[in-house]
Structure formats: C-alpha cells, structure tokens
Chains A and B, each alone.
Chain A
Amino acid sequence: EVQLVQSGGGLIQPGGSLKLSCAASYLTVRSNYMNWVRQAPGKGLEWVSTLHPDGGAYYADSVKGRFTISRDSSENTLFLRMDSPRADDTAVYYCATNSNWHFDTWGQGTLVTVSS
C-alpha cells in the first residue's frame, strides 16, 4: 500500500526558513504528480504546489516566490522549502499524490506554526 510519511514541521519565526519532507513507500516520487496542500486552523483545504514528473513546478499565488517544491529521487522524497514565512502560512501541511485528476493518497500532515 502506498504510504507518505511526513516530517519537518514545527515553530518558525517570520522571515525564517523551514523545509518539510514527505517520504514515499511503494510509489516512485519522480514518476508521479506530487503535491502540497495546507489547512489553516479551523479552515478549509488550500492547494499549495505541484511537482510534475517532467520537473515542472506550479504554485498558488499565495506562496509563489517564497516556497519551493523539490524532490530527491535517491531518497524517494518530496520537499517543500518555506522561505520568508508569514503568520498566515500557519497550517497543517499535507503532501499528496495526484493521479487520475485527484489527490488520492495523503500524508499524515505536519503542523507549521509561524510566530515570533
């Protein structure tokens, strides 16, 4: 069974930097559409970013220029680097695969709190 295991969340100061990880089992990260979706406390889901198998990266306007999605094929892991975070980036961040035009497998989520 495909499994996504996340790590790397925590408290980060505004203007700092943090890198989230998502390790995949029984799925090859470089061959799949890999995504980050977040959920602010008490709020709905927000798509953040997608990394295509061909390396194309796409971002929501709210994070463009500040967040970077990447992958490490040797580690079979997806990453999200968060630079210059703001208070409104505080959320549970989920990694997810996207196949057949939907987000089908989700990680367990990791909480990122941006606060001084």
Chain B
Amino acid sequence: QTVVTQEPSFSVFPGGTVTLTCGLNSGSVSASHRPSWYQQTPGQAPRALIHSTNIRSSGVPDRFSGSILGNKAALMITGARADDECSFYCGLYMGSGIWVFGGGTKLTVL
C-alpha cells in the first residue's frame, strides 16, 4: 500500500523560513509524480498552491516555492506570516489514474 509521508506538525517564527516535505514509503518522489501542494484552513476547501513540483498556481505569492529535495518533494515558505498557520497537503500522481495525498502538516506560526 502506497503511503505518502508528511511531517504531522511544524513550527516557524513570523518572518522565518520553513521547508515541509512529502515522501513515499516505497521509494523516492520524482517529478514524474507531479507533486502538488494544497493549503487548507479549518472549515474551508483546500486551495492549490503548487503543481508539477514547482509551478505556482495563479495568485500564489512567491513566498511559496516547490522543489525536489533528495528523495522527497518539498514546499518552502519564506517570510512566514500569521495567516500561514493552517494545514498543508501534498498530492502525488501514482500512474494509472491513481492519486494519493499525504497526511498533511499542521503549521504553527509562533
């Protein structure tokens, strides 16, 4: 069974930088998995931030950037703000029409 791993929680100071990761229990994440990232505040639908590893969705500030770091996909947030406090999810395309999401990272801005 494919499991996409994310840090359950992370903390950052206002103005700081944080890198969230997205891995696979059964191997490495690569660009072929088309990594995407989503932001979700409680009670709201998710919002797309990044797709195809590093392409920002329309209206997403350049404080958010995506990459592959080693064997994982990564989302870096610079200049953290209080309203960045929410949950972040990664999504991976596994082929044959199948998608899998990670368990999400709850970000706290201290």
Contact = CB atoms under 8 A, between A and B. Distances in A.
Contacts of A50: 97, 99
Interface of B: 34, 36, 38, 40, 45-48, 50-52, 55, 57, 87, 89, 91, 93, 96-104
Interface of B is mostly: strand
Contacts of A35: 99
Interface size, A (range): 20 to 34
A45 B104 contact: yes
B40 to A, nearest CB: 8
Contacts, number: 62
A60 B91 CA distance: 14
Contacts of B96: 58
A61 B89 CA distance: 20
Contact of B36 (A37, A44, A101, A109): A101
Interface of A is mostly: strand
A48 to B, nearest CB: 9
Contact of A47 (B40, B87, B100): B100
A102 B34 contact: yes
A100 interface: yes
Interface string A95-116: 0000011111011110000000
A35 B99 CA distance: 10
A106 B36 CA distance: 15
Interface in A56-110: 56, 58, 60, 94, 100-104, 106-109
Given A58-B97, A103-B38, A44 B45 contact: no
B29 to A, nearest CB: 14
26 contacts: A37-B46, A45-B38, A45-B40, A45-B46, A45-B89, A46-B101, A47-B91, A47-B98, A52-B97, A56-B97, A58-B96, A58-B97, A58-B98, A101-B36, A101-B51, A101-B93, A102-B34, A102-B48, A102-B51, A102-B57, A102-B91, A103-B36, A103-B91, A104-B51, A108-B45, A109-B45
